[in-house]
Amino acid sequence: MNIKRIVGDGATEKAYLADVRGRGVATDREVTAVVSEIIEAVRTGGDRAVNAFTEKFDGKLPAYFEVPREAINDALTAADENYVNAMLSAIENITDFHARQKEQSFIVPMENGCIMGQRTRGLKRVGLYVPGGRAAYPSSVLMNAIPAKIAGVSEIIMVTPPLPDGTANPDILVAAALCGVDRIFLCGGAQAAAALAYGTESIPKCDKIVGPGNIYVATAKKILFGTVDIDMIAGPSEILVVADRNANPAYLAADMLSQAEHDPIASAVLITDSREIADKTITELEKQLEKLSRKEIAQKSLENFGAVIIMPDIDSAIELANDFAPEHLELQIENPLSYIGKIDNAGSLFLGAYTPEALGDYYAGPNHVLPTSGTAAFFSPLSVYAFTKRSSFIYYTKEALAAAKDDILTIAGKEGLDAHANSVSIRG
């Protein structure tokens, strides 16, 4: 395995991380063209088009289009008890964390008799895309559905590709049942995203689409944004680990590999102020890699988009981390809590030697749907806020409007909008 080893000089490391950050940003014109055709076909053809694409891409139609309640109940009944209990514990933690994000409406009565305020409520219907092939992650069902439920979303519609035998992935059905998904349809790809955006004879039109997918799903969501809201355009997964001379190289390597095994274009980077830690972590990576069932994927990831970067000190490492704005940022350093205020750009922050990124993926409570490819500089993790909408309201008395009249007319005059001004002056 040949992972890059970079000695920071103020330029080389920044140039490398800029290349890594841009690895999933480029738009594939051929994919965009194919996806655009699929979207238009579903918009005009509804269920017929969705089923045609399912048959084309998956080989045959599933056993059923909408998963019957009996199949969901059967999956839950047949599920491994340890798996169900683990999911219930995760649900408890995720619910507890996200419940703290719930916003309240407010009303502000003024002394002059005016009333202003804001009404906050959940979206009516949300579509949840869940991959069902190699990348089938029941934990993502929890991370998307739970905050939606807390926000007050009335209905969650899930779409997921069928397994080769034409049925739904049972682990995904269990997750959906445990966190209250309302309806489940067996379809995937860009056609499923289009169905959620426009609605078909069977699949209800949704206000927002959330959930991960391959390049076709991501491209569809990007094209459909505006017709429907989306969570984010997710790129390849990434982890950045900042470690000092006291860190455990075995832990560092294990955490880097936990992301590298996702995808050949996932990225795992270590930044340290210790040459000894750098060398020992590379040795650990090579040793642990041999034991992985997804060795080939992880090795390609590390060789193409992985690196061990040696910086002069931890402060310069933190500065470089902020510049990269990673999806996952681990601080395996002395007194990690003291650095929280210095981290401006990260999707999620993992503090200390006993807080591996996998803890956040599955169990701790914060959401694992995070901004990637440097977008943590301006995007936030998925949350309850993503599933709400807000409307302001204003009530003015006659006297209050009269008091504001001259200021409004002055501003309207500057903008040349006579009708705006007249709507105020006509009221006296």
Do 414 and 354 share a domain, yes or no? no
Token pair, residue 247, equals 């860190």
Q: What pTM value is reported for the model? A: 0.93
* pLDDT at site 58: 86
- Residue 132 confidence class, pLDDT cut points 50, 70, 90: confident
Residue 381 lies in a domain: no
Do 207 and 279 share a domain, yes or no? no
Average pLDDT over residues 381-402: 96
Which helix (H) or strand (E) element contains residue 337? none
**CA distances in angstroms from 289 to 258, 269, 410, listed in the order given:** 10, 15, 70
* pLDDT at site 204: 98
Full residue range of the structural domain in which residue 67 is found: 29-230
In eight-state DSSP terms, residue 256 is H
328 part of the active site? yes
Residue 275 lies in a domain: yes
**Burial (Cβ within 10 Å: 0-12, 13-18, ≥19) of residue 215:** middle
Residue 327 lies in a domain: yes
Token pair, residue 2, equals 């040949």
In this structure, what CATH number is given to the domain that contains residue 266?
3.40.50.1980
* pLDDT at site 59: 85
Average pLDDT over residues 207-221: 94
Average pLDDT over residues 197-224: 95
Do 254 and 175 share a domain, yes or no? no
Of 260, 50, 232, the C-alpha closest to 144 is 232
Do 14 and 34 share a domain, yes or no? no
Residue 382 lies in a domain: no
Residue 108 lies in a domain: yes
Do 336 and 419 share a domain, yes or no? no
Of 373, 315, 360, 381, the C-alpha closest to 342 is 315
* pLDDT at site 41: 98
Do 293 and 324 share a domain, yes or no? yes
Task: Determine which one of 328, 330, 357, 368 is catalytic.
Answer: 328
Distance CA 391, CA 335 (A): 43
Do 204 and 318 share a domain, yes or no? no
In eight-state DSSP terms, residue 66 is B
- Residue 25 confidence class, pLDDT cut points 50, 70, 90: low
Residue 303 lies in a domain: yes
Q: What angle do CA 238, 244, 246 make, to 5 degrees?
A: 120
Which of 208, 230, 252 lies at the terminal end of a domain, its last residue? 230
Token pair, residue 370, equals 């995070």
- Residue 43 confidence class, pLDDT cut points 50, 70, 90: very high
Residue 341 lies in a domain: yes
Contact between residue 82 and residue 186 where contact means Cβ atoms under 8 Å apart? no
Which of 182, 200, 230 lies at the terminal end of a domain, its last residue? 230
* pLDDT at site 234: 81
Residue 243 lies in a domain: yes
* pLDDT at site 428: 81
Do 246 and 200 share a domain, yes or no? no
Task: Determine which one of 327, 330, 357, 368 is catalytic.
Answer: 327
Contact between residue 391 and residue 158 where contact means Cβ atoms under 8 Å apart? no
Of 50, 259, 75, the C-alpha closest to 171 is 75
Distance CA 109, CA 332 (A): 50
Do 187 and 248 share a domain, yes or no? no
Do 175 and 309 share a domain, yes or no? no
Give pLDDT tens digits for 104-114: 999 999 999 99
Token pair, residue 399, equals 């006297």
* pLDDT at site 117: 98
Lowest mean pLDDT among 230-239, 277-286, 378-387: 230-239
Do 67 and 209 share a domain, yes or no? yes
**Domain count along the chain:** 3
β-strands 115-122, 106-109 pairing? antiparallel
Of 310, 255, 311, the C-alpha closest to 285 is 255
Contact between residue 389 and residue 126 where contact means Cβ atoms under 8 Å apart? no
Do 184 and 329 share a domain, yes or no? no
* pLDDT at site 26: 60
Which of 324, 341, 364 lies at the terminal end of a domain, its last residue? 364
DSSP H stretches of helix in 179-330: 189-198, 215-224, 249-260, 275-289, 295-305, 314-324
